[in-house]
Structure formats: C-alpha cells, structure tokens
Chain A
Amino acid sequence: MTLDRLAREVEALLMASDRPLSIERLCELTGAGLEAVEQAVSRVEDALSSGGHAMEIAYIAGGYRLVTDPALGTVVSRLFEGRRPGKLTRAALETLAVVAYSQPCTRAHVEAVRGVNCDSAMKTLLERDFVAISGRMETPGRPLLYGTTQSFLEYFGLARLEHLPRLDEIGNLLALGADDLEKAALDLSKDGEDDH
C-alpha cells in the first residue's frame, strides 16, 4: 500500500511534532480541507496497521499523535529506565479523580470528599503538571481553585475532559439530594469494585 502525498505529509507532521496536532492545525499546515485531512489520517492509520507497524495514531487531548503500540511497552520502557517518573499512588489518583470531576475546586473540597489530608498528593500532582491552579474562589479567604491540565489528558490518553469515565454518574451523585441517598446506599454493601 503506497500512501498519497497528503497522507505522507500528515504522517510526517505527526512524527515530527512535539505535541498532539489538532485537525485544524493539520489543515493549516498542509493547506488541505478538513474532510481531506480526516481521510488522510485514517489512510495513515490503515497503512500502519495493515503493514504491521509498531506505531499507531491516537486521538488524545484534542489532537492526533503517533504512539508506539502499548503491547511493546516492556521493551520500549527499557530505553527510559531510571529516567521515567513512577506510576501515581492511589492517594494521588483519588485526589486527581476528585479534581478532574469537580473542577474547578478547592483543596478543602478534595479533602472533604476523601476524608483525609491531601497535601502531599496535591504536591505530586502539581509537580507532575497534572493539576494546576486555575483561579481563586470569591469567598472569604479566597481559596485557590484547581483544575486538570493538558498533560493530564495526555497521560491518561483522554481525548477531552468529556471523555472521563462515568462523568454523568458522578455529576448526578455530586448533585444528589437527601431522598435519593437511601436508594444509592442500598448497593454499598453489594456491587462496586473493591481492590483489597
């Protein structure tokens, strides 16, 4: 399968880019129309998969990017041994989840939801640029508000915030009235994942 000029241009741009490229940016760079670029992207995808290549195109954080096949992760990660930040702890992941679904939100909100102090988890998330200060709340004390970043989407392979898992379910829970609580409580001892 030989790729046409536009598809090759798209592939080259994805290969060389230092960040995910949005469809608009690809149009701008190639001078082609939206539909043509979309089709070109899928031709590159087909070529990569049918040719048995180790790369694929992922749609992440509002843009396309080339990534290596996760199945080859073990081998590729040897390249970066000792140079790669570790996986997030459970505390950090839970803190991140609360921020992601409630953003913008204060640190006090995160601590109220988790029932524990979140200082060190929050520090890790700020340092790794998954969470950033997004403003201040106009209440006494003007506490800082936090939100997730572009790096957050990229790290977790999310196309956009709306693609967070169970977004509606958690939104409903956050707005839950007292009457619905009894019903929701019934399954506390039944379903739900428990990783202990």
Chain B
Amino acid sequence: MPTETAAPESTACRVTLSDFEGPLDLLLFLIRRDELDITLIRVSEVAGQYLAYIRNAVELNIDVAGEYLVMAATLTRLKSRSLLPSQRDQSDDSQDPGKALLRQLILYRAFREAAAELRDSEETWRDAFPPAGERDRFHDALREAERGGESGSILELLSALESLARRDEPGLPHMVERPVLSISECIDRFARVLHSEGVCESFIGVLGEKPTRQRVVSFFVALLELVKRGWVVSRQVGPFGGITLERTGRWA
C-alpha cells in the first residue's frame, strides 16, 4: 500500500472527513484519487486506503461517525475474505458482500451526479424570479410552517407517527449477546478433548453443534494461545488440507 503512510497533514492533499457526505463518498474519492480497482481481487488495496484515512481521523481526535466505522468493518471483512480460499465456489451473488458494496457504490455515484445536476438547476432557477403573486404563495407557506400553523401540525403529526412506525421497520438485525465463553473456558474444553485422545482431527469438531461466530472466534483465540505457549502443535498434510491438532509434552 504505497500511500498508507500519507498523513492528512501532507500538503499534497489535505482532506478531512467533514468534506464527505458519508463513507460511500469517501470511498469513491479514494478510488478516484488513487485509481484503485474496486473488485474483489483488489479490495485489500481499497480497504487499506480507507482504514488509513479513518485511522488518521481518529488520531486527530475527530469524532468519526458510526457509519464510517461500519464501512471500515465491512471492508476489513471483505479484505479477510479475499485472503482466504473461498468456501463455496458457487456462492449466491446477491449474498456476496463484495458485490453488494459494488452495487451500492455505483448507485450512490449515479445519485451523487444527479444531485450535482440538480445543484446546477438550482443555481439557474433561483435567479429566475416569478411574478410577485407566486412568491407570496411560497412565503405564506413558509411562514405557516414556521408558525406551526395547520399544515405544519399535520406534518408534525405524521412525522411523529413515522418515528413510531420506524421502530418496527425491518432494519438491520441488532443482536446483543452477553459474553458466555471465556478464553480459559475454551482452553478447558481443548484440554478435555486433547487429554483424552491426544490428537484432534479438526478444529470444527471442538466447537460443538452450530457454533456462533463469537464461539468460533473465542476458540480460535484460545487455540492461538495454546500454540503460543507451545502446548499444542498443528500439522497440515498439504495446502488446504485438514489441520490436526496435537498435544505436546509441555501441556501437563
């Protein structure tokens, strides 16, 4: 990543997050500036640039809006996916987060351009004044809204209704899980499996039925800890082959 080190202080291009209308806008800017390739193959490059940007903003104590962090997480996930061999070759395109992001970028860019054209129309037509009677109509409407007149109150009522309706709108699933598993508990479980059998044919086997993402991560971290301590060694026969775990003599 050639420009990863480029700090926002550099005179070449000083841009701050407040110049952008959200994470998609920032991504499009980076893609254009560095002529990046937003396909799955090169996503790590795009992700690197984006993360460098966000990191700089955080270092400068700028309040980074949640949306930017969500995008950072998405890109990190895409990057890690691109580094791993694909599990399913015929994956459903609509489920592919890379394609989804691509679609989002393309759509957003089109609307951003449409907005720029609206801006041009605004410039022109704001300077074309209609007859006085017509302007009065607008001013009346404006004043009424400011006073909270009749049309204003219906508007307020509807937006209040809407905020209620939004509560049960099917949004992104928001799951809050309490921590149910500590790393030492994971190590205990490894111990039970490895002490009775000495070897373990697959990591997945230790996880149990239908493991949650959190469970997989916990066990993986536990395994890394065991390997670091030298209590467990892993062996792989060939590329992409199964990985067996073995207890060493150091694990008493």
Instruction: Give Cα distance in the complex from A133 to B163, angstroms.
Output: 13
Q: Contacting chain B: which of A23-31, A45-53, A170-178?
A: A170-178
Q: Are B111 and A114 in contact (CB under 8 A)?
A: yes
Q: Are A176 and B106 in contact (CB under 8 A)?
A: yes
Is A93 positioned at the interface, with any CB of B under 8 Å from its CB? yes
Instruction: Give Cα distance in the complex from A190 to B36, angstroms.
Output: 10
Instruction: Give Cα distance in the complex from A171 to B122, angstroms.
Output: 23
Interface-central residue, B39, B65, B115, by most chain A CB under 10 Å? B115
CB-CB < 8 A to A196: which residues of B?
Answer: 15, 19, 29
Which B residues from 6 to 29 make CB contacts under 8 A with A? 15, 19, 21-25, 28-29
- Chain A nearest CB from B227 CB (Å) reads 39
Interface string of A130-164 (1 = CB under 8 A from B): 00010010011111100000010001111000001
Instruction: Give Cα distance in the complex from A190 to B217, angstroms.
Output: 40
Is B170 positioned at the interface, with any CB of A under 8 Å from its CB? yes
Instruction: Give Cα distance in the complex from A136 to B169, angstroms.
Output: 12
Is B77 positioned at the interface, with any CB of A under 8 Å from its CB? no
Instruction: Give Cα distance in the complex from A91 to B24, angstroms.
Output: 13
Is A70 positioned at the interface, with any CB of B under 8 Å from its CB? yes
| Tier of interface size on chain B | 35 or more
Interface string of B84-111 (1 = CB under 8 A from A): 0000000001101001001111111111
- Chain B nearest CB from A5 CB (Å) reads 21
Interface string of A14-29 (1 = CB under 8 A from B): 1111110000000000
CB-CB < 8 A to A127: which residues of B?
Answer: 145, 155
Q: Are A67 and B32 in contact (CB under 8 A)?
A: no
Could you list 10 further interchain pairs (A-B, Cβ under 8 angstroms) beyond the known A19-B137, A173-B106, A185-B39?
Answer: A113-B111, A116-B21, A116-B67, A140-B169, A165-B117, A169-B110, A176-B106, A182-B39, A189-B38, A192-B109
**Interface, chain A (partner B; CB < 8 A):** 14-19, 56, 58, 60, 65-74, 76-77, 83, 85, 87-88, 90-91, 93-94, 96-98, 100-101, 106-108, 112-117, 123, 126-129, 133, 136, 139-144, 151, 155-158, 164-166, 169-170, 173-174, 176, 178, 181-182, 184-185, 188-190, 192-196
Closest 7 CB pairs of A and B: A73-B127, A116-B22, A157-B125, A178-B93, A67-B128, A18-B133, A70-B127
20 contacts between A and B (CB under 8 A): A14-B131, A18-B131, A18-B137, A65-B130, A73-B126, A73-B127, A90-B119, A113-B108, A141-B165, A141-B167, A141-B168, A144-B165, A158-B121, A178-B94, A181-B106, A188-B38, A189-B37, A192-B32, A193-B116, A196-B19
